[in-house]
Amino acid sequence: MSLPAQILGDIASSLLPGSGPVFERLASKTQEEWVRNRSLALAVAERVSGLSREELAERIAEDPRLIPLLTRLAFTAGMTGRDELLKTLGAAFGHAVAAPESIDACEAVLTGAATLQPYDVSVLRAMGGEPVLSGAETDESRTTKIVAVEVRLSASAVDASLARLNAAGFVTVFHGVFGGGSSYAVNEIGTVLVDLLATLGEPQQQ
């Protein structure tokens, strides 16, 4: 029995003792969703890598470093139904397969992307290559207020987004600049994520 089926079995038995048919329906629906999510992510991985499903399997067999990434991809895909996130995860895995030198960066994308809110990527893209200042005002720097207007969010929402992007490893923060403010800049991993999304042609609102 698969892990999701076991979990659903525990839930069903605790709520409805003896409810075999209920459990079977829950397990079947969950398994279908897991298969759909993994299939979508792997289809994107095929497109980004330029390989068939069989060729992907061969590359994974040849490079054991890809196995933890595949495991993370499969697990995260089972935990989300957000198509835009599944595509991002698939793109990261496909890029890692096609360019083994990028495995570490793609693993960081796989780990961090699952923690983001849908609009965080819009903020990341809007930052571009210029640092964004939070908590202070200056005539010479982009601020969270400017980015907020561009992505149609409140300045406080952008501040929260920058904090999540930093925690997920996509931006680097420098505190105590410009009179006590904080400066956020897209780092290497963030650039990888933005480039992957550009490859997919994803819209600004993720």
The SS3 call for residue 128 is coil
Task: Kindly report the number of other CB atoms within 10 A of residue 25's CB atom.
Answer: 13
Q: What is the C-alpha to C-alpha distance for residues 92 and 121, in angstroms, rounded to an integer?
A: 15
pTM of the prediction?
A: 0.76
Torsion angle defined by CA atoms of residues 121, 169, 108 and 106, in that order, rounded to the nearest 10 degrees: 50
Tell me the per-residue pLDDT of 83-126, one tens digit each, with 9 for 90 and over: 888 899 999 999 999 999 999 999 999 999 989 998 999 999 99
Query: For helices 66-79 and 103-113, what crossing angle results, to 10°?
Result: 20
Q: Among residues of the chain, what percentage have pLDDT more than 90?
A: 45
Q: What is the C-alpha to C-alpha distance for residues 16 and 136, in angstroms, rounded to an integer?
A: 56
Q: What is the C-alpha to C-alpha distance for residues 199 and 48, in angstroms, rounded to an integer?
A: 8
For residue 15, pLDDT over 50 is answered with no
For residue 131, pLDDT over 80 is answered with yes
Tokens 């029995």 -> residue: 1
What is the fold, at CATH topology level, of the domain defined by 120-200? Arc Repressor Mutant, subunit A (1.10.10)
Q: Where in the chain is the domain with CATH 1.10.10.10?
A: 120-200
Q: Which pair of structure tokens corresponds to residue 110?
A: 């796989």
Tell me the per-residue pLDDT of 159-183, one tens digit each, with 9 for 90 and over: 999 999 999 999 999 887 666 688 9
Half-sphere exposure of 149 (CA within 13 A, CB side): 4
Residue 24's pLDDT band, with cuts at 50, 70 and 90, is: low
Q: How far lies 114's CA from each of 5, 48, 81, 167, 200, in Å?
A: 22, 19, 11, 12, 17
Instruction: Give residue 134's pLDDT.
Output: 87
Residue 20's pLDDT band, with cuts at 50, 70 and 90, is: low
